[in-house]
Amino acid sequence: MGELFIAMAVMGVVLFILYKLKILKFNSVTGYYKKSSKGVSATYKKLNGFEQFSFLLKKEQSYDLHYDLEIEAGVMKLIMRDKGKRVIFEKEMDSDLEDVFTFTTVKRLHRVEIEGEQAKGKCNFHFKERTT
C-alpha cells in the first residue's frame, strides 16, 4: 500500500513540474468557429490551450495567408506548419492585428494552430492562391 502511495505522489510531482514548465498543457476552450476549405472564423470567450485546423493546398503553389486578430484579453499565437511539422509562420500577439503572409507550399497538407493564454477575442484567417 505504501509503495502505491509513493508511486502516485512521484507521478503527481512529475506532472506538476511538466505543467509548470509548460511542457504539459491542458486545453480549456470556450467559443465557436466556422471552418471552410480555405479558412477559419473563430470567436473565443476563453482560450487557454490551442485548437488546430488542417487544410489541403496545392503543392508548389504560392499563397497569401490573410489574418485578422481582435484580442480583448490575454495573448494569442497563430502558427502554421506543413505536414512535416516544420513551422512556416508564427506570430504572437497581445493586441489587434491584421496582416498578410506570403509563402510557397512544398507539401499539400498544412495545419494552422491558434494558441491562447487566458485569451479572449476573435481570429479570422483565410488562404488566397497567388496568380503569377
Cell of 23: 511542457
34-76 pLDDT per residue, tens: 999 899 999 998 888 888 899 999 999 999 999 999 999 999 9
Amino acid, res. 116: G
- Cβ-Cβ contacts under 8 Å for 58 (sequence gap 6 or more): 105, 108, 129
Q: Which of 129, 87, 130 is nearest to 111 (CA)?
A: 87
Q: Where residue 127 falls among pLDDT bands split at 50, 70, 90?
A: very high
Amino acid, res. 26: F
**Residues 77/94/120/101 CA torsion (nearest 10 deg):** -40
Angle at 22 between CA 15 and CA 118, to 5 degrees: 115
Cα-only R_g, the chain: 18
Of the two residues 110 and 15, the one the predictor is more confident about is 110
Query: What is the value of pTM for the model shown?
Result: 0.74
Domains and CATH numbers, the chain: 27-129 (2.60.120.260)
Whether the pLDDT of residue 16 is over 90: the answer is no
